[in-house]
Structure 1
Amino acid sequence: MRSARDFCGRRFNFGTLETIHTESSRKCTAESFERLACSGGRKVAELWQDADGLFGLFGSSATERPMIRPTRSSETNVRVTM
């Protein structure tokens, strides 16, 4: 059995018994997710959690590009451009 699906203007064909990766789930605290988001230039905009704090969904948004400031020892050797 074969199946074909259209998505965003593209056609995807699936063969018999072909596997499809549909989810990547990670376990992390709100704090560790915030650090991860910040490392990728994003910030946590929303956090939804169940009453027991066992399940959560994070909404993130892009942050402005951080200002890179040279350290004191290299101030004369580094030029910062934006």
Structure 2
Amino acid sequence: MSDIATLLQQRLQSLYPEHLQVTDDSAAHAGHAGAKSGGHFDIVIVATAFAGKNRLQRQRMVYDAVGDLMHHGIHALSMRTLTPEEI
């Protein structure tokens, strides 16, 4: 796991996930112009903190938790945000 993927795991713990999967897809994007500014990551996070929130609100919660990584280390972040009831 890359350093950024590890940091993603750590920072997303603030949402108290019941399930968290971070996948580093950076190798698949090697040579892509934007890839030079950071990696490509896919996350699946299941947390009760998302209950009653719409998709945009959930994504904002993730971005808030990730913080400055979006500007230093991450070029693209794909996410699936679910509550335990939505699994």
Structures share a fold, TM > 0.5?
no
The structure having more radius of gyration, on CA atoms, is 1
1 or 2, which has the higher helix percentage?
2
| TM-score for both structures, normalised by structure 1 | 0.31
Higher relative contact order (CA 8 A, sep 6+): 2
